[in-house]
Amino acid sequence: MGKNILITGGAGFIGSNLALTLLQKEHKITVLDNLSEQIHGDDPFTSELYNSIEGKVTFIKGDVRNREDWLNALKGQQVVVHFAAETGTGQSMYEIEKYTDVNIKGTSILLDILANDKNHKVEKIIIASSRSIYGEGKYNCNEHGIVYPKERNEKDMLNGDFSVKCPECNEVAALMSTDEGSKIHPSSIYGLTKQAQEEMCMIAGKSLNIPVVAFRYQNVYGPGQSLSNPYTGILSIFSTRIKNGNDINIFEDGEESRDFVYIQDVVDATILGIEKEEANYNIYNVGSGKQTSVLEVTKSLLDEYDSNVKYTISGNFRLGDIRDNYADISKIKRDLNFNPKVTFQEGIKFFSDWVSSQEIKNDSYNKSLEEMKTKGLLK
């Protein structure tokens, strides 16, 4: 039997895809979303993401910082999937009040309502966390074993040394997959707000006897992601540059890497969290379990678009960025029987085919970089 499910940020990339899949499973979906211009463009009601769910869900245009919008959206809901958040790692370093206001205050209002309204029907909360809470992640040092390095030294990076060092001896350490028990030490304001969201929900959920499931999503990509947001999503940022015939500036030495996970795999994992009691009060990484370098991403996109756009490995870097990461997904495999189905090679083809079917978006990436330069965050 279907449930009443509220998805905050449900007109966004992950939220809209989740909504459409849940509708096929006969759940009733309500979406609370502010239709941010950064994601949906100047006229959000014409955005593909919004149009994909229009008329299929109960849509409430509202803001998670507004208590009345929460009260309106929560009526009769059995499950809350809380995706609404500001998401740009770099942008979070200078829009600090906005990020804490939306991500932390917005979540606090939800939990405050659930703590004080004894008539609510909410029986589960899914909270979108992020791999960014791990900071540089988990490494192995020949001398000191498993270590959790601090942010990299700016002086080293200015000299072209982008490696991650052991915090004990300062020797180069070897990357390991990051598991859920790894040290939490975010290196960006965004990561800090995600840590706060996750912990607030877990603490309040246990107190209120409302099961919570936290998903630490890796770099999610696929058809439908915003091509007009210059602050987040390297595949979409680079695709928009390529389609506009603009050269690509690859930061650091191009070998920095991320764990790219395909959108439908993320949706499938999230639904397992909604449906399975085994997930209750647990935290899970959601990723592919593999690392892919930025240089490999760039070459793959140029190949898929058959483009002769040039790329430069510039040595530029952003303060707050991590070097590498990939998730240890053994826990979600064991507990929820989750296995990612789409390889990066398959997923990037699905993504690039979709991009090629879209109207070319304005490329405002350089503007975002100028913002970071003026704040002293881009070197």
Nearest to 231 by CA among 61, 45, 37, 65: 37
- Give the pLDDT confidence score for residue 377 in this predicted structure: 67
Spatial contact of 55 and 231, defined as CB atoms under 8 Å apart = no
- In angstroms, the first-to-last Cα distance of the chain is 54
- Give the pLDDT confidence score for residue 233 in this predicted structure: 79
- Give the pLDDT confidence score for residue 39 in this predicted structure: 76
Nearest to 88 by CA among 379, 369, 374: 369
Q: Is the pLDDT of residue 107 over 70?
A: yes
Give mean pLDDT, residues 225-252: 86
Angle between helices 106-116 and 189-208 (to 10 degrees): 10
Q: pTM here? A: 0.94
Q: Is the pLDDT of residue 321 over 80?
A: yes
pLDDT tens-digit map of 155-169: 999 999 999 999 999
Helix (H) or strand (E) holding 106: helix 106-116
Tokens, residue 7? 């998805």
Three-class secondary structure of residue 210 per DSSP: coil
User: How many Cβ atoms from other residues are within 10 Å of residue 335's Cβ?
Assistant: 15
Give 360's pLDDT tier (boundaries 50, 70, 90): confident
Instruction: For strands 292-293 and 257-258, give the pairing.
Output: antiparallel
Tokens, residue 88? 């740009």
Question: Cα dist. 177→148, 278, 309, 327 in Å?
Answer: 12, 24, 33, 5
Lowest mean pLDDT among 52-61, 231-240, 335-344: 231-240
- Give the pLDDT confidence score for residue 37 in this predicted structure: 79
Mean pLDDT across the chain: 93
Q: Is the pLDDT of residue 128 over 90?
A: yes
The span from the CA of 240 to the CA of 301, in Å, is 11
- Give the pLDDT confidence score for residue 228 in this predicted structure: 74
pLDDT tens-digit map of 179-191: 999 999 998 999 9
Q: Is the pLDDT of residue 108 over 90?
A: yes
- Give the pLDDT confidence score for residue 242 in this predicted structure: 93
Question: Cα dist. 282→27, 127, 203, 273 in Å?
Answer: 23, 11, 12, 9
More confident residue, 9 or 368: 9
Beta bridge partners of 215: 128, 284
Three-class secondary structure of residue 320 per DSSP: coil
Give mean pLDDT, residues 145-161: 94
Quote the radius of gyration of the chain (alpha carbons, Å). Answer: 20
> Do you know the residue count of the chain?
379
Q: What does the DSSP 8-state code read for residue 358?
A: S
Give mean pLDDT, residues 222-243: 84
What percent of the chain clears pLDDT 90, i.e. is strictly above it?
80
Domains of the chain: 4-138+177-374 (3.40.50.720), 139-176 (no CATH)
Q: Is the pLDDT of residue 256 over 70?
A: yes
Instruction: For strands 145-147 and 139-141, give the pairing.
Output: antiparallel
Give mean pLDDT, residues 219-223: 94
What percent of the chain clears pLDDT 70, i.e. is strictly above it?
99
The span from the CA of 254 to the CA of 233, in Å, is 16
Give 231's pLDDT tier (boundaries 50, 70, 90): low
Give mean pLDDT, residues 285-307: 96
Nearest to 2 by CA among 79, 61, 115, 90: 79
Give 232's pLDDT tier (boundaries 50, 70, 90): low
